[in-house]
Structure 1
Amino acid sequence: MTSEVSLRERKKQATRAALSHAAWSLMIEHGLEAVTPETVAEAVDVSPRTFRNYFASREEAILYGLVRRAGSIGEALRARPAGEPVWDSLIEVLPDAVAGMVGESHDLLLMMHAVLRDPAMFAQHLVAFEHGQEVLVAVIAERMGTDRCDLSPRLLAATAGVAIRTAVVAWAQAQADTSVAGLIRESLAVLRAGIPLGEDPPTL
C-alpha cells in the first residue's frame, strides 16, 4: 500500500511540475495574458479542471517552480558539514543554487516586468519570496542551534535575501559583466565583512 501511495504522490508531483513549466513557458513565449487554465491544460494534455485541482491561479502556477526549488536550497544547506560557520554555508550554496533557479536573464526580466505590471503576479511573487525566506530561516536556525523565532536567524535570512535580490536584479539588467553566481557571492561577501563605506571592497 505504501508503494502505491508513493507512486500516486509522485505522479501528482509530476503533473504539478508539468503544469507549472507549461505556465511559465507560455508567459515567456506569449506574455502573461496567454496563460489561462485552458492553454496550460492543453499544453500538458489534461483538462482545465485538472489545472484548477492543482493551482488556484495562473500566478501560482507560474511561480510554483521557484517555490519548489527553494526547498532544494534548504536541503543543500542542511547537507553542509555540521561545524561549518553559517556564512560559509550560505556562500558555498546560495550562488550556484540561485543561479540554477533564475535561468536566463531575458526570461527573468520578462518575469520581473510581469510582476511589476500585474497586481496578482506581484502578490504571488511576495508569497513565493516569503516562502524562500522561511526556508532560509529554518535552516539557519538549525545550524545556529537556536529557535527559528529568534531574531538572529531571521535577520541573517533577510540579509541574505536582500543580497540575492540585489545581485539578481543587477545581473538581469546587465549592470555588471559577471555571472549571477559571481554577483551573489560578491554581495554575500560584502555583507559578511560589513558594507565598506568609502573603503576597498573585501577580497574574495
Structure 2
Amino acid sequence: MSTTAEPGLRERKKAATRQALHDAAVRLAIEHGPDRITVEAIADEAGVSRRTFSNYFGSKEEALMHGDLQRVRSLIASVRARPVGEPPWAALTAAAAEFYRQLGDLDPQWVARSRLVRRHPTLLAAQVQTFAAVERDLAAEVAARSAELDPGGVRARMTAATFLVSLRVALALWLDAPPGTSLGDLARETLATAGRGFR
C-alpha cells in the first residue's frame, strides 16, 4: 500500500470517530436531556474510551455543537469558492443561498437538537462560542474581498458577525414558524434586512 494514502485513511478514521461521538451526544441529549448526560455515557454510546473522547472534544457541549461547526466551516468554504471580484456581502448571501439549497430536507435529529439548544442556556452559550470561533476566519474572507479601507478590521468583523447572527435569527424564526415554512426563505429575508448596511 502507498504511504501517501495512509494520512488520508488516518484522517478519515479521525473524522468518523468525531462524527460518532457527536451523533452519540445528540442521541443521548434528545433522549435524556443534555443536563443528564455525561462524557462517559457519550463515550460508551460511541463505543470508545473516555480518553478517546477527550482527544476529540473538551466537553459534552462541544461534542453536541460539532455539527454546527462543520456546517459553518462548509459555509466558509463556499464563500471562499465564490468569484474573486464579488463584493463581500454578495458573496456571503450567494454562499448562504447555495448552502440552504444543498441542505435540502432537514434532518429531524438536527431539528430536535436545535430545539434543545434554545431550552438549555449552557448549549446556547456553547453555540455562541462555536460561531465566535469561526467568525475570525469568515472575517478574513470578507477582508480579502473588500475594496474599502479597514485597517483595524472592524468592518470585516462586523460584517462576518452580522452574517452569522442573521443565520441564527433565521433558524430561531423557523423553529417557531408553521410547518412548511422554508428555512432558506427566512435566511434570505434576514440577510436582506441585515445587508442593507453592508452593500
Give me the TM-score of the superposition, normalised by structure 1.
0.79
SS at match of 2:133: helix
> Is 1:70–1:135's contact at 8 Å kept on the other side of the alignment?
no
> Is 1:106–1:172's contact at 8 Å kept on the other side of the alignment?
no
2 CA distance for matches of 1:23 and 1:192?
Answer: 35
2 CA distance for matches of 1:67 and 1:126?
Answer: 11
Name the structure 1 match of 2:117: 111
Choose the corresponding residue for 1:188, options 191, 194, 199: 191
Note if 1:10 corresponds to 2:12.
yes
Residues 1:140 and 1:148: Cα distance change in structure 2 (over 3 Å):
farther
Task: In structure 2, list runs of 5 or more residues that go unmatched.
Answer: none
Name the structure 2 match of 1:136: 138
Instruction: Output the amino acid matched with 1:170.
Output: L
Instruction: Output the amino acid matched with 1:113.
Output: R
Choose the corresponding residue for 2:68, options 55, 66, 69: 66
Q: Residues 169-198 of structure 1, C-alpha deviation per residue, up to 9 Å, x if partnerless?
A: 11112279731111110111122335xxxx
2 CA distance for matches of 1:19 and 1:84?
Answer: 38
1 CA distance for matches of 2:113 and 2:19?
Answer: 18
> Is 2:20–2:46's contact at 8 Å kept on the other side of the alignment?
yes
Q: How many residue pairs end up in the alignment?
A: 190
Instruction: Output the amino acid matched with 2:79.
Output: L
2 CA distance for matches of 1:136 and 1:63?
Answer: 18
1 CA distance for matches of 2:8 and 2:112?
Answer: 37
Choose the corresponding residue for 1:179, options 179, 182, 189: 182
> Is 2:117–2:124's contact at 8 Å kept on the other side of the alignment?
no
Task: In structure 1, list runs of 5 or more residues that go unmatched.
Answer: 195-204
Residues 1:97 and 1:135: Cα distance change in structure 2 (over 3 Å):
farther
> Is 2:142–2:156's contact at 8 Å kept on the other side of the alignment?
yes
Q: Residues 12-33 of structure 1, C-alpha deviation per residue, up to 9 Å, x if partnerless?
A: 1221121112112211232113
> Is 1:20–1:65's contact at 8 Å kept on the other side of the alignment?
yes
Instruction: Output the amino acid matched with 1:181.
Output: G
Q: Residues 74-129 of structure 1, C-alpha deviation per residue, up to 9 Å, x if partnerless?
A: 11111111222222222212245368498554431122212x2x3xx344223202
Name the structure 1 match of 2:59: 57
> Is 2:26–2:113's contact at 8 Å kept on the other side of the alignment?
no
Q: Structure 1 vs Structure 2: percent identity of aligned residues?
A: 38
2 CA distance for matches of 1:87 and 1:64?
Answer: 26
Residues 1:122 and 1:162: Cα distance change in structure 2 (over 3 Å):
closer
> Is 1:164–1:187's contact at 8 Å kept on the other side of the alignment?
yes
> Is 1:148–1:154's contact at 8 Å kept on the other side of the alignment?
no
Instruction: Output the amino acid matched with 2:172.
Output: V
Residues 1:136 and 1:96: Cα distance change in structure 2 (over 3 Å):
same
Residues 1:175 and 1:161: Cα distance change in structure 2 (over 3 Å):
farther
1 CA distance for matches of 2:195 and 2:186?
Answer: 14
